[in-house]
Amino acid sequence: MNPDAPVLRENLERSVDQQKNLLNKYLSVLKDILTDFQQARFNTYIDS
């Protein structure tokens, strides 16, 4: 077994976790944008 394997594995897991965190942040921002957009459309509909 490669003596570096545990370190490589740890780095890979950390990298995957960072990717997941970024994806979750991105999705939550996207959701906020969509929610704002829908809210704006709703307000426009109400005002007209």
Question: Is the predicted pLDDT of residue 14 greater than 80, yes or no?
Answer: yes
Looking at residue 31, its pLDDT comes to: 92
Query: Cα 37 to the chain's mean position, in Å?
Result: 19
Question: Is the predicted pLDDT of residue 48 greater than 80, yes or no?
Answer: no
Write the single-letter amino acid at 17: D
Q: Could you tell me which of 12, 14, 32 has the C-alpha nearest to residue 24?
A: 32
Instruction: Tell me what percent of the residues of the chain surpass a pLDDT of 70.
Output: 100
pTM (2 d.p.): 0.61
Looking at residue 2, its pLDDT comes to: 83
Q: What is the pLDDT of residues 33-44, one digit of tens each?
A: 999 989 888 888
Write the single-letter amino acid at 28: S
